[in-house]
Amino acid sequence: DQQVKQNSPSLSVQEGRISILNCDYTNSMFDYFLWYKKYPAEGPTFLISISSIKDKNEDGRFTVFLNKSAKHLSLHIVPSQPGDSAVYFCAASAFQGAQKLVFGQGTRLTINP
Amino acid sequence: EAGVAQSPRYKIIEKRQSVAFWCNPISGHATLYWYQQILGQGPKLLIQFQNNGVVDDSQLPKDRFSAERLKGVDSTLKIQPAKLEDSAVYLCASSLDPAGYNEQFFGPGTRLTVL
């Protein structure tokens, strides 16, 4: 069962505009959510996270929004830059003392000059 | 600070052969993870160690996969015998402290192709 879903395999955005990546989850026990960024031939790197007690977390150009009632989160990147072109993974965790992350399938973001 | 090291970076084998992957986590990180990432999917946790003990191996196909973390530092993941569906990138990650939410740092991965 796919507990974390990213329904858009790819997204193309013009440089300087806003990129919005979406993620849905089904497990109501998830209480911590993360976004990872992955370049080719590299491992994923942590980007930003949000706890379920918040609905927004901002870090520079990156903002994550959480809608618990809809079991939906989104990552906003503004303004988008060519270096943002990568695969973005949404991940979720339910605190079980084991920090187990469940990942979505990923969205490939391409920023066009 | 050195990152998570993995070797080899690429491996091609035939089905039914054996293969082993090595991971050296960030110094001082107590928790080590092995993930399998099949093309077009997100990483899936195979096994998690805290120091040299197994915390979670519920998704590890134990009939063919094995992993160990001797002395609570380096770790090896072995597949014996390999199947075609094992073709994937195997990612190792480590985090500082299992308590609370600590960032997981990933290595570059080992791309395995089973022919």
Which amino acid is located at A14 in the chain? Answer: Q
pLDDT of res. B100: 65
Please judge whether B106 and A97 are an interchain contact, meaning their C-beta atoms are less than 8 angstroms apart.
no
Q: How far apart are CA B81 and CA B111, in angstroms?
A: 17
Please judge whether A46 and B56 are an interchain contact, meaning their C-beta atoms are less than 8 angstroms apart.
no
pLDDT of res. B52: 84
Q: Which of B45, B97, B110 to mutate to test the interface with A (most CBs of A within 10 A)?
A: B45
pLDDT above 60: residue A57:
yes
For B68-96, write each residue's pLDDT tens digit: 998 889 999 999 999 999 999 999 999 98
Q: How far is CA B87 from the centre of its chain?
A: 14
> Residue A88: closest CA among chain B residues belongs to which residue?
B42
Q: How confident is the model at residue A30 (pLDDT cuts 50, 70, 90)?
A: very high
Q: Which of A101, A102, A107, A108 to mutate to test the interface with B (most CBs of B within 10 A)?
A: A101
pLDDT of res. A105: 96
Reduced to 3 states, what is the DSSP secondary structure of residue A18? Answer: coil
Q: How confident is the model at residue A89 (pLDDT cuts 50, 70, 90)?
A: very high
pLDDT of res. B51: 87
pLDDT of res. A58: 98
Single out the residue of A101, A105, A108, A106 nearest to residue A27, CA to CA: A101
CB contact A37 to B (< 8 Å):
no
Looking at beta carbons, which residues of chain A come within 8 Å of B8?
none
C-alpha dihedral, B48 to B44 to B95 to A108, nearest 10°: 170
Q: How far apart are CA B69 and CA B46, in angstroms?
A: 14
- Degrees (nearest 5) of the Cα angle B34, B38, B44? 40
